[in-house]
Chain A
Amino acid sequence: MKTFGIEFVPMKLYWRTTYYSIQAEKVGYDNIWITDHFNNRNVYVSLSVIANYTESINLGPGVTNPYLVHPVMTAQSVASLNEIAPGRVLCGIGAGDRTTLEMVGKEMEGPLRTVRESVEIIRRQLARDKGDYSGRKFSTTAGARFNFKVEDEIPIYVGAQGPRMLQLAGSIGDGVLINASHPNDIEEAVKQVRKGAEKAGRDIDDVEVAAYTSFSIAEDENSARKPVVPVVAYIVAGSPKVVLDRHDIPAEKAEKIRKDLAERNWGEAFGAIDQKMIDSFTVCGTPDQCVEKIEKLFNKGITQFVTGTPVGPTVRGSINLFGEEVLPHFKETN
């Protein structure tokens, strides 16, 4: 089954994010993912409002991280959200990004172990496990148990980009959110997820594989490209060498973009973004172009396609366009 998610960054006024979420539900999206960064509005406040104004769409953090939020608090948050939206809650968790963590003096130590233990703790909390938990990064005692029962399953998705985190997602996640938009990157990522699943005695069919893309759609190609340029600049600036090499982007070029961004030379940074980079790190274009690109990603093994912010020149117009001209190619819609 092919499913579709949409990601919102709660940078806008709460009611605008909620409006777009209602709209996404009405056009036929299956999932809403809200990002979790301390410089935007709180993820669970955003999700609670969305839960109150929607009926059936699934929703959750995409993704929270255990360096800033202890996993018992994440478990508490998603369990509480489940009371507002029973059976509709998802939980996306990942290691976060180093730059953001460094802003508040946090080091990304042992990301694999940290994410693994977090997932284990969240599951134990949701199940009201009675025993103690003794990990290398976290520990809990029986006293940490919830005072209330969680009536529904809450699938846990692991956010991943590098091979080892992808393998971890395959071995322990109900789903994986792959930070990539290009078929070659997705193909490589799915290989790693499969490897991790098989090592853990699972089948990749046990794992919901989501391509968490940077996405923009418009009636004409140029209008679709413009909104993604800033996002691509940050992606290029933050990509490891192995990813840059895969897309023939010279490391010096990426470093220059990184420097320009750090020094707020926006014109220089964004001016360095070319069509090839846009094609490497986004899914964008007219509806027909988007359908073709999304089909390629499903053929590489994903089961969920996530349209990540920007979405398009105007969010409302682009969500409608996606619902009217892309979704019907892949699923029955209202």
Chain B
Amino acid sequence: MDYREYREMVKAIPMKIRQPLSEKLIDILLEAKEGKKLPSSICKQILYYMNRDELHREPGLMNLLKACELVDPKEATIVIEEFNLSEIKLAISPDN
């Protein structure tokens, strides 16, 4: 998926769940066994938005979702299910 598709998905995420969703996604990235798969460019983006307290905003969430798709799509799918975000779940599921 490219960033335009992520941007469209993230726009549809209700505001009130963006903060808790971003925290669950960052936990996946911090603990993922395949963390090395994350390109440095995305790591730096995540750090940039973390520094600005903006991981829960659209660009931050886009990067988190992209990162989770790369390192642990299975775990990300579980989290997204918890938040009832079916469109995102379908897009990043490891079965796709």
Q: Give the interface of A toward B (CB within 8 A).
A: 13-16, 18-19, 22-23, 26, 53-55, 314-316
Contact = CB atoms under 8 A, between A and B. Distances in A.
B48 A26 contact: no
Given A314-B27, A316-B30, A13 B35 contact: yes
Given A15-B43, A16-B30, 20 more contacts: A13-B35, A13-B36, A13-B38, A13-B43, A15-B38, A15-B40, A15-B46, A18-B47, A19-B26, A19-B30, A19-B47, A22-B47, A22-B50, A53-B48, A53-B51, A54-B51, A314-B27, A314-B30, A314-B31, A316-B27
Contacts of B53: 26
A328 to B, nearest CB: 19
Which secondary structure characterizes the binding site on chain B?
A: helix
Interface residues of B, number: 16
A53 B47 contact: yes
A26 B26 CA distance: 16
B74 interface: no
Contacts, number: 37
Nearest to A320: B23
A55 B27 CA distance: 23
A13 B71 CA distance: 13
Interface of B: 26-27, 30-31, 35-36, 38, 40, 43-44, 46-48, 50-51, 53
A34 B4 CA distance: 38
B44 to A, nearest CB: 7
A300 to B, nearest CB: 35
A53 B44 CA distance: 9
6 contacts: A15-B46, A15-B47, A19-B30, A19-B46, A314-B27, A314-B31
A314 B35 CA distance: 16
> What 5 A-B pairs come out closest when comparing CB atoms?
A15-B43, A53-B47, A53-B51, A22-B50, A13-B35
A23 B36 CA distance: 21
Given A15-B38, A16-B30, A314-B31, A22 B43 contact: no
